[in-house]
Amino acid sequence: MDMNYSLLINGRKVIGEQGSFSVINPATGSALGECPAASAGQLEEAIAAASTAFATWQYTPESNITEMMNAIADKIEAHADELARIITLEQGKPLGLAQIEVGASAAWTRATAAMTLPVKTIEDSENRLIELHRKPLGVIGSITPWNWPLMIAIWHIVPAIRTRNTLVIKPSSFTPFNTLRLVELINEVLPAGVVNVVTGERDIGNTITGHPTLRKVVFTGSTPTGQTIMRNAASNLKRLTLELGGNDAGIVLPGTDLEKIAPAIFQTAFLNMGQTCAALKRLYVHESQYEEMCQRLSSIAKSQVVGSGLDEGVTFGPIQNKKQFDLVCTLVDDARESGARILTGGAPLNGPGYFYPPTIVADARDGMRLVNEEQFGPVLPVIRYTDLEDAITQANASESALGGSVWGNDIELASQIALRFECGTAWVNNHAEVLPHCPFGGCKMSGFGLEFGEEGLLEYTAPQLLNINRN
């Protein structure tokens, strides 16, 4: 598959002035293709184009924006096979999962197109009319990660354009090609300059986050990078939405039907080979059912077919990049040396690529690196508990606070416990589910700001109060 893509600035394809960098196929460990690298000057051109486009785009009628967003969804669907194949080649996930990502991206675009931000009437009296209006911020900077490269690009782009902002997006240097192609498709629909894409490595991201023209930066990625972005953004007090790392805990209540919940727990822990911010990453199970749960999860793990995402029948792809692969190896080795039992997996596969099989780690405990740190990979530590209050305390002990879940037959009890979690989203008998109409975001070191739903749209706007004196 030809991976010859260009930057897209002001509606035009341009060659990167900083040369190019290699994009690695994680299934082979070899170069998939060369990605153009933008210069500082080209970033300035992209921001200037977005700024110029904003002058007229901010007044686009709502019906026109809705029509264009649905046309973008049509484009995504028309190119679904192409986009899914790009995702698998550069990200590694099985083609079936990549197809789901593409389909969800189109559906998310349509759902966001249908949302509205009505004017809120504060007072309508004989003396005055007071209304709260919502206005676009201006030029938005977007920096996206490598785990769900198309989906998260959509999460950043569509609320920005729905609220009449313009945007410059920089995808991860590990997975840039699908975003370059997506923005090409978007520019077949939108006016020039509304959505621009630049690619490069770390320096260009730092320039984006500190740029004085940008009124907001939305970032999905690691907590340390989010902290750097927050410092850079202080120069002009730009708005931020930071969806950062998670180390989500799940608690299984005593007496729960394990046969029913074990497949769901496995799916939400190993979604995208565990490379999902809101995946279940620590599982606390009562001692009365601990061994049974470990065995059920191990059985599911052993049934997975690990291999290249383009191969038929594969259910489990590689870790996306070598740095993450090395971290997973280190965390599992540390757990083993600290007395944990490795029930399945526990070592990389021989041969090329960053393949690590789904790994269930029993006898894990707080204090192990695998429990205290976010593994962001195909490993689940299972922790035994005796006292429920102690399990809740341990679940809340992490500085990460993206999500958490409680699993049990008693929905009312599970809900009460879930509400005691210190996190942005608490699920009951589920985990990692995000929906376009439901706000999502973290707290503590997992970031701040909300995405999705009306609350997510509001993050891309500035309030303006209109106070009319009727006398």
Nearest to 353 by CA among 328, 325, 372: 325
Radius of gyration of the chain from its Cα atoms, rounded to whole angstroms? 23
Nearest to 275 by CA among 440, 423, 97, 154: 97
How crowded is residue 99: how many other Cβ atoms within 10 Å of its Cβ? 18
**What string of DSSP letters covers 409-463?**
S-HHHHHHHHTTS-SSEEEES--S---TTS-B--EETTEE--BSHHHHHHTTEEE
How crowded is residue 395: how many other Cβ atoms within 10 Å of its Cβ? 26
- Length, in residues, of the chain: 471
- Six token digits for residue 216: 């907001």
- Burial of 351 per CB tally in 10 Å (0-12, 13-18, 19+): exposed
Alpha-carbon separation of residue 30 from 202, 249, 328 (angstroms): 21, 35, 20
Give the residue carrying structure tokens 């985990």: 431
Q: Report the distance separating Cα 113 and Cα 105, nearest Å.
A: 12
* 3-state SS assignment for residue 403: strand
**Bridge partner list, 444:** 400
Q: Report the distance separating Cα 196 and Cα 186, nearest Å.
A: 10
Q: Report the distance separating Cα 160 and Cα 149, nearest Å.
A: 17
451 catalytic per annotation: no
* 3-state SS assignment for residue 418: helix
Catalytic residue among 35, 277, 294, 329: 277
| Parallel/antiparallel/unpaired status of strands 425-428 and 280-286 | unpaired
How crowded is residue 234: how many other Cβ atoms within 10 Å of its Cβ? 10
Catalytic residue among 45, 90, 243, 451: 243
82 catalytic per annotation: no
Q: Report the distance separating Cα 100 and Cα 352, nearest Å.
A: 26
Q: Across the beta sheet with 461-469, what order do the strands follow?
A: 120-124, 128-136, 461-469
Residues assigned a catalytic role: 243, 277
